[in-house]
Amino acid sequence: MKKALLAAALMSAGVVAHAQSSVTLYGRLDAGIEYMSGVPTGAAANGSATGSSNRWKAESGDWGTSLWGMKGVEDIGGGNKVLFQLEGSFNTMTGAGPGGGGLFNRWATVGLSNDQYGTFTLGRMLFISNGVWDFDPFGQSNWSSASLVRGRNWPQSSNNFAYQSPKVAGFDFYGQYALSNATSFNGNGSTPQGREAGGQITYTNSLFQIRGMYDEIRNPANGGLWGGNPAQAGINTDNTGNGVFAASREYSAMFNVFLGQFKIQGAYQAVRSAGATGVLPGTPTTLDHEWGGVTWQATPAAALIAAVYHVNANNGGGNATIYTVGGSYNLSKRTLLDLQAATVRNSRGANFGLNANNAGYAASTDNPLQGRAQSGVYAGIQHSF
């Protein structure tokens, strides 16, 4: 009898071992103060700004999005795991949560993972274009690569299916495919999102890392690769009329080089729309976007960063360059102080701002006046848990 009870106990222990699970609560709070010049003011009859001024602002998310989330994993045996992730953003300064994206506007996924075959997940995710984060000297902070493509590299994506391969000989693959959920496959105006898709291949070794990436975002109104047709340059437009910045194809080639205390990073992106009609001068249909920078890890706690970001827009959209320096100092493993100073210089036909705002010239966009510069500096604190 005792032997039978012992055998039953051992069998039960084996089942429990295969069903081990864990749930982790995590988050990040980012807050600081920001000064910016060249902030537009006033409004003409057509809605465009008439002047500019300077501004001090309490800010959340300049160095990185404030967020909180939960993630978990369950070992179901045979080298297989079930996993989930829930993550939402918020404003540290006001406590306000996400808008139309819902409570978990960044991640709401469930999936299966196998060490040999990779990971498959379903749900809402950061769109694959966020994959430039690993190659941006400022990690897609508020003034970085996303600024000159007006947030084209920042979106979230619903109705998504994603696959992450294991690493083989230094290579790995990641891909996403998001359904529009409309009766027309690419989208027809009946759903808030058009079809979205992309894939990236990364090679990593101890000296360098390279990544090639392709992605596309379809216009939810008609399934096309053009985000509407603004009536004319000089009138503020919402995101559905944001042209190449809202719906387009994007081709990216990026690299990291690791040289002891130094990391050198660079990238080239070609953003291309298709099917645009009746586009007036000043509204670009293509963008060429490049950046480069270096990070010096001066001490285990202190890092200094310098970077240059440039964009050239066709059809009279002009060009712009951001010059920026900054750094961080870790007070502990979870808390850092951050600082960044930047200026954006526009050609005569451009009005790109430091912030990743929609196209337009109204005061509500925060974009500088056409052909004008904009400069800023912020300092903050960030804590992760």
For the chain, the structural domain boundaries read 27-384
Please say if the pLDDT value at position 17 is more than 50: no
pLDDT score of 279: 86
SS3 content of the chain, % helix, strand, coil (to 5): 10, 50, 40
Please say if the pLDDT value at position 77 is more than 50: yes
pLDDT score of 57: 97
Please say if the pLDDT value at position 91 is more than 60: yes
Chain segment 342-381, per-residue pLDDT in tens: 999 999 999 999 999 888 888 888 999 999 999 999 999 9
Chain segment 214-240, per-residue pLDDT in tens: 999 999 999 999 987 544 444 433 333
218: alpha, beta or left? (left if phi > 0; alpha if psi -120 to 50): beta
Backbone angles phi, psi at 342, to 5 degrees: -150, 155
The answer to whether the pTM exceeds 0.85 is yes
Percent of the chain at pLDDT > 70 equals 92
- Mean per-residue pLDDT over the chain, rounded: 91
As assigned by CATH, the class of the 27-384 domain is: mainly beta
Rounded CA-CA distance 324/193 in Å is 34
pLDDT score of 229: 54
Name the β-bridge partners of 4: none
Chain segment 290-301, per-residue pLDDT in tens: 999 999 999 999
Rounded CA-CA distance 223/185 in Å is 8
pLDDT score of 241: 53
Rounded CA-CA distance 9/5 in Å is 6
